[in-house]
Amino acid sequence: MNVLLTGGAGYLGSAAVVALHEAGHTVRVYDSLLYHDLYSEPVDFVRGDVRNEDALLPNLKWADAVVWLAAVVGDVACERDKEAAKNVNHKAVAWLRSRFDGRIVFPSTCSVYGHSDDVATEVHPQEPLSVYAQTKAAAETTLNGDAVIFRLGTLFGLGGQHGRFRMDLVVNTMTVRACTEGMVAVKGGGQWRPLLHVQDAAKAMVVGLCGPVGTYNLVGQNMTIADLASLVVAEVPGAQIEHIEGAEGVEDPRNYRVNGDKAANVLGFLPSRPVVMGIREIKSLVRSGRLSNPSSARFTN
C-alpha cells in the first residue's frame, strides 16, 4: 500500500516510518522540517506545508492511504499561534477529507476530554480546554466518522532511531530533570494522565490502515502526576521530588483517565511498552552523553 505520511519527520512520525516499512508499506513523507535542518531517512520525501494545497494534491493522488500526523502540537505552541493551529489542525484536515477518498488515519488527542472524574470511553462528553484540544476536536468532526481516529494519550519514550526527541512531554521531562538536576518538580500531583509509548502509537498507525473506521482511545497506563514522579525517582537513584506550592504551583486544569478497551477488542491493539520502559530509555539516553543540551529549543514544541 502507498502511504502518505504527513508530519513524518517528527517525534511520532519517525517511529511511524519504521513501523510502516516493517509492515511492508511504501511510505512517502511530507513534512515542512520545522524542527530539522536535514532529513536523511532512506524514504521518499517531499518537503512541504500541508496548508499548501497545490503542493499536497499530487501526493494525495499517489497515495492509497494517508496517515495525517502533521499538526501544531501542544497547548503552548497552539496558544502562541492560534491562527496556524486552526489552519493546520482543523482546516487542512477538512480540505483533506474533501479531496481524498482513501483511508485516513488521524491521530487526535485524549485532551479533548479536558477534565473528568470518570474514566472516559470514546462516547464520553468532550470538554477541550485548550486551543490544541479544540482544534483536534473540530478536525474529528470534519472527518464525519469515515476515518480511523486515534485519541492518543500523552506520548513518552524514544521514537525512531534518527527521529526527533521531545522534552516537553511529562515522562520525558521528569526523567531528564531527575538525571540532570536530581529533582522532579510536581505541581499539584493529583491530575490523571493517560500515557502511551511513542512506538506503541506508531504501531497503531499501521493497525489503523486496515481496521474498521471509528474513534479509538489509545492508552498504555493511566497515572497521576504524583505517582509518575514517584516512579521516576525510584528509577533514578538520588533524585527527589519537589512539591511546588503557591502561585507557581497552580495545577494544570486537565485531569482525565481513558479506557482503551475498544481499541483492544475491535482492532486487537494492545500497547506493550510500560511507562517504566520509557523512563529507562530516557535515563540511558541522558547518561550516554548523547543528549548534549536538553534545553535546546528543537526538543520542545
- Whole-angstrom CA distances from 239 to 20, 94, 281, 293 are 38, 46, 17, 20
Pairwise CA distance, residues 168 & 173, whole Å: 6
Q: What is the mean pLDDT of each run of 10 residues along the chain (301 residues)?
A: 94 94 96 82 91 95 96 85 91 94 95 88 90 92 89 91 78 95 91 95 96 96 96 96 68 80 96 96 90 72 65
For residue 199, what pLDDT is reported?
96
For residue 74, what pLDDT is reported?
80
Which residues lie below 8 Å from residue 143, measured CB to CB, with a gap of 6+? 93, 97, 104, 106, 149
For residue 301, what pLDDT is reported?
65
Pairwise CA distance, residues 223 & 225, whole Å: 6
The answer to whether 50 and 30 are in contact (CB under 8 A) is yes
For residue 250, what pLDDT is reported?
47
For residue 161, what pLDDT is reported?
66
Q: Which domains does the chain have, with CATH numbers?
A: 2-157+196-218 (3.40.50.720), 170-193+221-253+273-299 (3.90.25.10)
DSSP letters spanning 49-110: -TT-HHHHHHHHHH-SEEEE-----SHHHHHHTHHHHHIIIIIHHHHHHHH--SEEEEEEEG
The answer to whether 275 and 142 are in contact (CB under 8 A) is no
The answer to whether 9 and 39 are in contact (CB under 8 A) is yes
